[in-house]
């Protein structure tokens, strides 16, 4: 399991952006008793794909959702 701060640093994005992507793209995260988000391997892969589409391929949010079959 990896913390949201580690994911944010990996992709050089603020934590609030990662949280927004999780909410918008339905990325499943785990919560600690204190409410902190943790990512398992599947969630890491999902965030990686969202990052690739939005930041590298320059899709819009709507375009990325369509590409991933989320609408």
pLDDT tens digits, 12-51: 999 999 999 999 999 999 988 888 889 999 999 999 999 9
Closest CA to 4 of 26, 25, 35: 35
pLDDT at 71: 75
Question: What is the architecture, at CATH level 2, of domain 2-67?
Answer: Orthogonal Bundle (1.10)
pLDDT at 44: 96
Distance CA 14, CA 18 (A): 7
Rounded to two decimals, the pTM is 0.90
Distance CA 31, CA 41 (A): 15
pLDDT at 55: 97
């Amino acid at each position: 399991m990896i913390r949201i701060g580690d994911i944010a640093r990996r992709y050089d994005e603020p934590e609030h952006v990662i949280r927004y992507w999780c909410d918008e793209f339905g990325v499943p995260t785990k919560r600690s008793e204190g409410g902190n988000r943790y990512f398992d391997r599947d969630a890491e892969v999902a965030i990686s794909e969202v990052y690739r589409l939005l930041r590298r391929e320059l899709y819009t949010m709507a375009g990325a959702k369509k590409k991933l079959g989320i609408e």
